[in-house]
Structure 1
């Protein structure tokens, strides 16, 4: 047992996984944000999986791989978001952390994640990184069960960029079983519903490269969040992994997000690449369309307040 623990201590601590479809203007600033703050390449690795067809991106990645010995780049035939699965499967670090391909790390984030992995490698708590979105007191919350963990996350559990998993937990998951093609990160999020402890880390670790909504995705937006994700959470309820109160809380929390989407993309008609077909029918699968409309003033007010709070926190 002592020998096993010693071997674990000497393993690679952290894998940063960046699944992408090969968009140079996003990925390379993300890579630069990592390596500009890297002091010890032995403690972490970066894994990039690419399901795009950008030859210039491919060639430039070869150059970066020759520059950084702990950077691995693989082409994949995975479709859409399932690229996340391929990327995590390649990771060798004890803690595997998703990094969105358009979200550079803020200064100090790499050191923080390595330190987090080092301090928690024995107990291995299930951890979700919410990047300041929950405004948690002290930026951190420890929970004792999966139900309270999911209730605290609310609709943010649908945000794949927050996902992390210990490799020892990943190795226990049967990835041959069906999983959501739109939200594949849930296979990791729900991979250990009986853990001894759960952590929501709300420290701000990444920022976002501003980009046109026309480049963000072409899936059916309202089917994804009004139907598919609610059905996924309902599956947890049916399997008695969460309580009915937690299910209703997440469903309600998601309704505010759906109201915001409706305002931005249907009412304001903001240009995007999303599929908006049958949006009303999709919403009405789990919600009252009128209630979603009525939510909009509250959601817009709440968003303005949160933006001001975040700005004040950033300026402090």
Structure 2
């Protein structure tokens, strides 16, 4: 079955919202229609699945506000920062010089001239270019019960950087985000079932040690944690059943082994293939995490 993208439509005209709603199924998309930017922003930040957004140029900020240009200024800033595919559907194309860049990018559609089908077709093409469409399985592990959507943006930046072959600042753009996402995976495992990964192991004062301890424990290896109580060191062993399959264990080792040293000193030996090996490993771990959560939900 083909993937059906979700498009959020923000417009204060109920007739426009109804038309988008009625035409969604025939155009192979799902539509969430909202009448003011505050409601739209709340939905976008809720962690629910969103693939693209349709903005009204002169819409309402809130249900009881007067439509104005501030709607476009704030909503456009938000969707661009979130890197969500978007289009603008407006009756004021000629009256808004601020749309110059968006007009050049062919993402402005005029009410009365263009149809809702035109907007859908443009956004479907934009969605097809996004990492979420290209790699749906790992990107399914964000929002809802899964990882916070802020980590999705990190991962999207990594994928886009590799696609554009822009490796000017790899420690900040690639390796550090991958390590941070792996930390969030372990935190989510603990949050979802502390019997599987005790909270005491989630100490990232020394990121490498914390990641290694979590990895060891999930591989069924006893981990000893040192704490200070009443001025004296205390050593507490933690052990549990093996949770990781062999291949996930290896993928986690790839991320830890490459990301930590690379994040502090990028050396000439790191190639684009090294970067990609970390990304593919992280994809596998995210798919594993989603299955882990689904099985326990």
Same fold, judged at TM 0.5 (above):
no
Question: Which is richer in helix?
Answer: 2
TM-score by length of 2: 0.30
Instruction: For CA contacts below 8 A with separation 6 or more, give which structure has more relative contact order.
Output: 1
Q: Which has the larger radius of gyration?
A: 2
